[in-house]
């Protein structure tokens, strides 16, 4: 009887029930496995580190998973590992070039294996990562969407609906509006409140881009009611800002300032860093267009202060991440050193027992 599937199932069950434990025990277990069980185990460990933002260790174990899969010609294991390496390069390391390299290898294997879902993932990545050719990006996203829809992958389709809407908003707002509506409908079906709120805001943005300002304000007003009931200050502030933008587009600067200021109060009261920067930028533009240059300069200064604060916060988070990675690496090295010491102690102990046995036999 083949023991590997049983070992794999046991390992996955152990991982599911003990996922909150340190990765040390998982690593010790994985090193004892072979074949597909080890491929899956290394991937699970990589995901554990990925979710904890330990990028270096995540890459290390995704690469181990890839190498183990290559050694036994496990195509599915290779594709899964390449997908995670791609994800790590793009989302954690901000390296589009490296993510594209992994995407190319993944594309070859997915075509060879005729794995439609992996092909869709690659197309999706090409679409979102390509910042130079918008038309090509949209084509890739639409091809990925078609496969997701055919395979009934609703979560993935929902993401692409939103991304297509964003990509088309400036050039084809009516088409963007259609995709935002589809995102909204699917978000409701999946009961994802965060996505529902995001989709509603995006629909308002599309209405503004379509110059349907009154409809946009009516939709934003409804969004504000929903945000107040849900106690969602981010959603609430953004819709006040959108109403401000709609009035700015109509050159009704008094109303634009009124609603932008309401958004500003919510942003500052709840310390919504990114929204504060956006708010100050909007108020700067409104006052500048109105000819109130003193007020425009005041909000320009605030915008730049917020920009600097966000950059500082990002730098601090990166330093903390690097320090955490360093501490983790030290701990892993200590574990390896302890394992070696234990091994040699056991070796010496066993050698001593053998020697005593020989002496006893001779006597």
Per-residue pLDDT of the chain (363 residues; tens, 9 = 90+): 444 444 444 444 444 344 444 567 788 888 889 999 999 999 999 999 999 889 999 999 999 999 999 999 999 999 999 999 999 999 999 899 999 999 999 999 999 999 999 999 999 999 999 988 999 999 999 999 999 999 999 999 999 999 999 999 999 999 999 999 999 999 999 999 999 999 999 999 999 999 999 999 999 999 999 999 999 999 999 999 999 999 999 999 999 999 999 999 999 999 998 899 999 999 999 999 999 999 999 999 999 988 887 787 767 766 765 665 566 566 656 555 655 565 556 666 665 565 666 666 556
Alpha carbon 345 to its chain centroid, in Å, reads: 45
**What would the pLDDT profile of 286-339 be if each residue is shown by its tens digit?**
999 999 999 999 999 999 988 887 787 767 766 765 665 566 566 656 555 655
pLDDT on residue 9: 45
> Kindly report the CA angle at 182 between 181 and 187, in degrees rounded to 5?
95
- Cα–Cα distance measured from residue 54 to residue 35, given in angstroms and rounded to the nearest whole number: 26
**What would the pLDDT profile of 200-246 be if each residue is shown by its tens digit?**
999 999 999 999 999 999 999 999 999 999 999 999 999 999 999 99
pLDDT on residue 101: 96
Question: 137 with 158: CB under 8 angstroms?
Answer: no
Alpha carbon 17 to its chain centroid, in Å, reads: 24
pLDDT on residue 297: 95
Domain ranges (residues) in the chain: 25-114
pLDDT on residue 330: 61
pTM score of the predicted model: 0.78
pLDDT on residue 24: 74
pLDDT on residue 47: 95
Other beta carbons less than 10 A from residue 201's beta carbon: 21
């Amino acid at each position: 009887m083949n023991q590997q599937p049983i070992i794999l199932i046991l390992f996955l069950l152990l991982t599911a029930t003990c996922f909150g434990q340190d990765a040390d025990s998982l690593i010790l277990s994985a090193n004892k496995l072979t074949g597909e069980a080890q491929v899956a185990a290394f991937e699970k460990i990589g995901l554990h580190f990925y979710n904890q933002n330990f990028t270096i260790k995540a890459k290390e174990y995704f690469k181990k998973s890839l190498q183990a899969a290559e050694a036994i010609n496990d195509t599915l294991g290779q594709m899964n590992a390449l997908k995670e390496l791609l994800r790590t390069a793009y989302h954690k390391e901000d390296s589009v070039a490296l993510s594209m390299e992994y995407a190319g290898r993944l594309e070859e294997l997915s075509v060879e294996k005729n794995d439609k879902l992996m092909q869709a993932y690659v197309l999706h990545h090409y679409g979102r990562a390509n910042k130079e050719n918008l038309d090509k990006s949209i084509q890739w996203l639409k091809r990925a969407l078609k496969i997701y829809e055919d395979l009934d992958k609703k979560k993935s389709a929902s993401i692409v609906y939103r991304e297509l809407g964003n990509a088309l908003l400036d050039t084809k707002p009516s088409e963007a509006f259609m995709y935002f509506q589809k995102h909204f409908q699917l978000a409701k079906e999946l009961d994802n409140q965060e996505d529902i709120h995001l989709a509603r805001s995006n629909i308002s943005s599309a209405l503004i881009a379509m110059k349907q300002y009154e409809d946009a304000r009516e939709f934003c007003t409804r969004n504000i009611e929903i945000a107040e009931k849900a106690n969602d200050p981010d959603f609430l502030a953004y819709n006040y800002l959108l109403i401000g933008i709609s009035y700015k587009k109509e050159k009704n600067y008094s109303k634009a300032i009124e609603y932008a200021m309401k958004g500003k109060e919510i942003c500052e009261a709840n310390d919504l860093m990114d929204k504060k920067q956006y708010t100050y930028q909007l108020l700067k533009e409104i006052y500048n267009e109105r000819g109130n240059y003193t007020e425009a300069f005041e909000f320009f200064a605030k915008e730049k202060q917020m920009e600097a604060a966000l950059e500082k916060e990002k730098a601090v988070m990166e330093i903390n991440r690097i320090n955490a990675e360093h501490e983790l690496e030290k701990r892993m090295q200590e574990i390896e050193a302890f394992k070696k010491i234990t091994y040699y102690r056991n070796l010496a102990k066993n050698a001593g027992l053998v020697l005593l046995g020989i002496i006893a036999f001779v006597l």
